[in-house]
Amino acid sequence: PPTNALVEELNRVSAENKKLSEMLTLMYNNYNILKKQLV
Amino acid sequence: MDYDLNTNPFDLHFSGKLPKREPSDSGSEDVMRKWFVKDETCMLQEELTRVNSENKKLTETLARVSEKYSELQNLFKELQSRENVNFCNERKRKQDRDEFVSSPIGISCGGTVEKSTVSTAYFHAEKSDTSLTVKDGYQWRKYGQKITRDNPSPRAYFRCSFSPSCLVKKKVQRSAEDPSFVVATYEGTHNHPGPNASVSRTVKLDLVQGGLEPVEEKKGRGTIQDVLVQQMASSLTKDPKFTAALAAAISGRFIEQSRT
């Protein structure tokens, strides 16, 4: 049924979203560390 | 750069937002089920759209942060390399300057063979002459000057013009005890032809081996004995008794010769 397919897609996109959030947090932290070193 | 990282990758309470299925015992159960399914699908669709849009936003933000991070990293590397170059140059300059200062004259540093050959030479110089250049037969390149606490006259540092193949260095400073002299301290031995014959009169003292005892005479220069002889001659000629005695001796010699 289309509902199951939607849930699956939603889970996939959500997992991707979570991964992106983690990457962004990591990158942002590194950026701030580097910025502090420069200042 | 500020980014809101409070993303909501997946709404955990999303299932609670879905319409609750009420138990139905009526004949219109199929219609109701279809309605629920349709409603659930709509909500799932909406949630998927929201998460997708958030996903897109996160990707864009990540790209921007990555770009900024790369720029900052490049800047950091550039500054670091520039600082390294400056540090190396400064250290080299300081090393050149301090080589003589850190090793007192006459005391071998023990670092290299060159450092063990430290010698000092005195040059007569007019008080008005502030150039601190001495004619010792070699060509020199000045690379620094400083004033020390113990002596108000500036101290000049020179490197042999054959540098870097010849590592001899010298420092020149007006003597604190007798300002009519400049003192040149040499470090190392030249590895090329020696000085010209037409050099000024100097006395070289080997301070490494024998303290203040004069031991070496440079080619074409007088020894300490020469200086002493000159000083004695000068003082004797001023003594009228000595002059009379010398005149008598010479005249006596002449008379003796005329008799023979």
Q: In whole angstroms, give the CA distance from residue B202 to residue B225.
A: 12
The secondary structure of residue B189, as a DSSP letter, is: -
The domain limits of chain B are 37-89, 118-187
Q: Is B193 helix (H, G, I), strand (E, B) or coil?
A: coil
Residue B165's pLDDT is 82
**In B, which residues are within 8 Å of A3 by CB distance?**
37, 40-41, 44
Which residue of B41, B50, B80 to mutate against A (max A Cβ within 10 Å)? B41
**In B, which residues are within 8 Å of A23 by CB distance?**
62
Closest CA to B118 of B203, B204, B217: B204
DSSP B56-67: HHHHHHHHHHHH
B118-187 maps to which CATH number?
2.20.25.80
Q: Do B55 and A20 touch (CB under 8 A)?
A: yes
pLDDT in tens, B63-98: 999 999 999 889 888 988 998 888 888 888 887 776
Confidence at B127, pLDDT banded by 50, 70, 90: confident
Residue A26's pLDDT is 92
Give the residue-averaged pLDDT of B105-121.
Answer: 55
Q: How many CB atoms within 10 Å of residue B54?
A: 19
Residue B19's pLDDT is 56
pLDDT above 50: residue B217: no
Q: Do B76 and A34 touch (CB under 8 A)?
A: yes
pLDDT above 50: residue B39: yes
ipTM of the shown complex: 0.90
pLDDT above 90: residue B128: no
For residue B66, give Cα distances in angstroms to A20, B60, B159, B166: 12, 10, 51, 52
Q: Tell me whether residue B78 is exposed, middle or buried, using C-beta atoms within 10 angstroms of its C-beta: 0 to 12, 13 to 18, 19 or more.
A: exposed
Give the nearest partner residue to B62 out of A2, A23, A35, using CB atoms: A23
**C-alpha angle B243-B249-B250 in degrees, rounded to nearest 5:** 90
Specify whether the backbone of B78 is left (phi greater than 0), alpha (psi in -120 to 50) or beta.
Answer: alpha
**B115, B108 Cβ separation under 8 angstroms:** yes
Chain A 5-34, residues with CB within 8 Å of chain B CB atoms: 6-7, 9-11, 13-18, 20-21, 23-25, 27-28, 30-31, 34
